[in-house]
Amino acid sequence: MGVEGKVVAITGASSGIGRATAKLLAERGAFVVLGARSEETLAATVDEIAAAGGKAVYKATDVRKRGHLEALVALAIERGGRLDVIVNNAGIGPISRFDALRVDDWDAMIDVNLRGALYGIAAALPAFKRQQSGHVINIVSTAGLKIVPTMGVYAATKNAVRTISEALRQEAGPYLRVTEISPGMISTNFASSITDPAVKAAIGERASNVAIPPSSIARGVAFAIEQPADVEIGSIVIRPTAQD
């Protein structure tokens, strides 16, 4: 029970929800293993955690590459002796209307949001099986709960991961916990990946009015982890009170 002493691998850990989660879990005594594409930002985050008395390491990780996820898990086991939790957080959202035909953006979301989560699961499961314990936390989205224009492909990738989470939970038996967390509008760099200028401006304006900090999601991750081993938090929705 609790977070202290747990070894936690986090993807998309250089900014936003991933970074906030890494800092909070390290503050509570976890050994965090951070993965993202931006090595410079990862190094700065690890330095910040260490300066506050926490324990963290990092590895440049592109979740579109299965070997990178395997290397991240291997680093966790090498430096932490085991892997207790993997947080599949990496995601992008270059949203647009279907008739904009931004097919490259569709492919990118499938590769990062869906395939990346699957690669994280595939990398962690052998370790969890050996240990007969483990916890998969998948960050999905409220976009999959309320479908709106421009969010079609993004929501589809997140709902695919939601389905995967439930099937994995049923297959896993009593030793593996599976949690999916649905953030609402959060103050992150989500809009930076949007290639449609009009949609990008609308999302940015909406976020400035209602978004809550990524630490709100980090607390949800910590809550799921800190439960006793025989308690699984299957699903959490965390959104601004002002969100529609």
Which strand ranges, in their side-by-side order, compose the sheet holding 31-36?
Answer: 55-60, 31-36, 7-11, 85-88, 134-139, 176-183, 235-238
Low-confidence ranges of the chain (pLDDT < 50): none
238 belongs to a structural domain? no
141 belongs to a structural domain? yes
243 belongs to a structural domain? no
C-alpha pair distances (Å), 73 with each of 35, 139, 174, 244: 10, 18, 22, 38
pLDDT on residue 209: 83
Kindly report, residue by residue over 72-123, the tens digit of the pLDDT: 999 999 999 999 999 999 999 999 999 999 999 999 999 999 999 999 999 9
For the chain, the domain total comes to 1
The CATH number of the domain where 228 resides is what? 3.40.50.720
Strands 134-139 and 31-36: unpaired
Domain of 50, in residue numbers? 7-233
Residue 170's CB is within 10 A of a number of other CB atoms, namely 9
Instruction: Give yes or no for a contact between 7 and 131, defined as CB atoms under 8 angstroms apart.
Output: no
d(CA 101, CA 144): 21
36 belongs to a structural domain? yes
| Residues with active-site annotation | 154
What does the CA dihedral 191, 141, 214, 109 come to, rounded to 10 degrees? Answer: -40
pTM for this structure?
A: 0.95
